Amino acid sequence: MQNKKCVFFDRDGVINKRIIDSYVTKQSEFEINLDILPILKFCDDNNFLKIIITNQQGIGKSMMNEMDLESVHNFMNNILLENQISTFDDIYFASELKNTEPFRRKPSPKMLLEAMKKYDLQKQDCILIGDSKSDIDSAVNADIMSIFYSIIEYEEANFSSQNTEEILTYLTTNFI
C-alpha cells in the first residue's frame, strides 16, 4: 500500500485573493482564486489530502473571532462544492500575533508537523503551496517540498510559479 500524499495550501493569496494590508474577516470579503481550482481538482483526481495551513492574525488583533473564521471557511468549502471539488480535508490556523507564544505561526513548522502526525504523513509525501516567504520557510523547517506561488522566484522553494499549468506539470512530474 502506498503512502497517502498531501498538498498543503496557504489560504490568503493562494486559495483566495489577498486583501492588501487587511484581513478576510467575513464571507463578503472572500474572493476565490479561480486559477487554483484546477490544482484542487488535480488533488482530488489523485486522491491527495488537501489541507490549509494559514496564519490568521486578524483573530489575535480582535478584528474577527474563530466563529467568523469558521464562517469564511464554510463559505470557501461551499464554493469548492459548487465547482465539483471536494472540501478541504482539514484547516490549521494560527491566530496569535507575530512573535507571541505559542509560536505556531508560519514560518514555524508546527502546524505542518501537527497535520503530518494526525494524518500519518511522511515528509516525502508532502508539499506546500504558498505565496509568502514565511510559507516556504515553514515547509523548509518541516523538511517538505514547496511551491512558491508567485511570479518571482524564491531560492528556498523547490519551484516558483503562479501559472496553473506549470504548477500542474511540476506536481505531475515531481510529486506523483
| pLDDT band at residue 96 under the 50/70/90 scheme | confident
| pLDDT band at residue 102 under the 50/70/90 scheme | low
User: Active-site residues: which are they?
Assistant: 10, 12
**CATH C-level class of 6-174:** alpha beta
User: 0.85 cut: is pTM over it?
Assistant: yes
The rounded percent of the chain whose pLDDT value lies above 70 is 98
Higher-confidence residue of 68 and 99: namely 68
| pLDDT band at residue 1 under the 50/70/90 scheme | low
From residue 117, give the alpha-carbon distance in Å to each of 101, 113, 121, 123, 127.
21, 6, 6, 10, 15
Element (H, E) at 70: helix 66-82
- What is the pLDDT averaged over residues 10-24? 94
φ, ψ for residue 73 (rounded to 5)?
Answer: -70, -35
Q: How far apart are CA 39 and CA 25, in angstroms?
A: 25
The rounded percent of the chain whose pLDDT value lies above 90 is 90
φ, ψ for residue 53 (rounded to 5)?
Answer: -125, 110
- What is the pLDDT averaged over residues 88-98? 92
Q: How far apart are CA 32 and CA 36, in angstroms?
A: 8
Mean pLDDT for all residues in the chain: 95
- Domain range list for the chain: 6-174
